[in-house]
Amino acid sequence: MNGFGLKSCSSNPTTPGEEATTGKASCATGCFLEFQNRAKTVARHNAAWATQKSSRFALLAKTSILLLALSLSHCSDEIPVLKEEGAESGSTIRISNFKREEYNALGAPEMRVKAREAYIYESGDGANKTQERLVGYDFEYTDIDGADTTILTAQKAEMNQKTGIMYMTGNVHLKGLDREIRGEALYYDMKKKIARSDQPVYIKEGEISTHCRGGVIMYMNEEKQICRLPAGKREKRKPTIPGPAGPTPGQGDDLFQ
């Protein structure tokens, strides 16, 4: 046997002549076949080892993936996943329980805004970034002007900072010092303090309840208004504030017949 475990072939023949030649050929053939068998055996061992190694790596990878999945599932119970379920898309900022106030030079409040949920839309970059619009849900806007304070509420409102116009929809209620408006849609100019609607609204002033079937324009500072297609009644008893289902004037004399 040689150093690699292969049988050695003798170079000395046992018999002279052809037998010597035949013996050398037989020995060489036997050595070659044995070397070939040994090589196949080594190759099988190598293949088996490689398969076992690959299986170990595969098992290790599967175990790592399983442990990672278990760790992630455990983390999901401890760290809540944020889900974007907002009603507005494309907004820059989303705020819950939104509140904002503005004050004059003397430190007195001039405006107050509240919303259950607010979405702010911005434009520009860096120092040039500005807030253009605010959309609020379960909205309340208070315009403070001394004793003459106007409060507006709605299910939804959109404030445009550029135009100074606010548009409210859904159970809209405007309450001034001595006037009220109820309807489903209303524009309000925050600078000029003008309320406007192209849809039917109800106005209440003292004992007079007016149904403006074609809409209204109300100048809050000048205490005047334009009611389109009016139908109103003078209340004989103290009226109740109409509810969300749709306000109706109380019983009384029709002033516009």
Domain boundaries defined on the chain: 1-81, 93-254
Q: Using 50, 70 and 90 to split pLDDT, how confident is the model at 145?
A: confident
Task: State residue 240's pLDDT score.
Answer: 56
Which helix (H) or strand (E) segment holds residue 35: the answer is helix 18-78
| Predicted confidence (pLDDT) at residue 193 exceeds the cutoff of 80 | yes
Question: Could you please report the per-residue DSSP string of 203-240?
Answer: EEETTEEEEETT-EEEETTTTEEEESSEEEEEESSPPP
Question: 193-224: string of b/e by CB count within 10 Å (b at 16+)?
Answer: bbbbbeebbbbbeeebbbbbeebbbbebeeee
Task: State residue 170's pLDDT score.
Answer: 98
The string of pLDDT tens digits covering residues 194-246 is 999 999 999 998 889 999 999 999 998 887 899 999 987 766 555 555 555 55
Q: Lowest-pLDDT range, 52-61, 64-73, 169-178, 215-224?
A: 64-73
| Predicted confidence (pLDDT) at residue 24 exceeds the cutoff of 50 | no
Q: Are 213 and 203 in contact (CB under 8 A)?
A: no
For tokens 């860096």, name the residue. Answer: 126
Interval 73-90 mean pLDDT: 55
The residue that leads in pLDDT, 92 or 44, is 92
The string of pLDDT tens digits covering residues 103-141 is 999 999 999 999 999 999 999 888 888 999 999 999 999
The answer for residues whose C-beta is within 8 angstroms of residue 208's C-beta and 6 or more apart is 232, 233, 234, 235, 255
User: What mean pLDDT value characterizes the chain?
Assistant: 74
Per residue, what are the HEC states of 84-150?
CCCCCCCCCEEEEEEEEEEECCCCCEEEEEEEEEEEEEEECCHHHCEEEEEEEEEEEEEECCCCCCE
With the C-alpha atoms ordered 144, 147, 148, 151, is the resulting torsion angle positive or negative? Answer: positive
User: 93-254 is classed in which CATH architecture?
Assistant: Sandwich (2.60)
- What phi and psi, each to the nearest 5 degrees, are found at residue 63? -65, -40
Instruction: Give dist(CA 41, CA 4) in Å, integer.
Output: 13
Q: Using 50, 70 and 90 to split pLDDT, how confident is the model at 82?
A: very low
Strands (E), 176-205: 180-189, 194-197, 201-205
- What phi and psi, each to the nearest 5 degrees, are found at residue 116? -65, -35
Task: State residue 127's pLDDT score.
Answer: 86
Global pTM? 0.59
As a whole-number percent, the residues of the chain with pLDDT over 70 amount to 57
The string of pLDDT tens digits covering residues 36-62 is 555 555 456 555 555 554 555 555 455
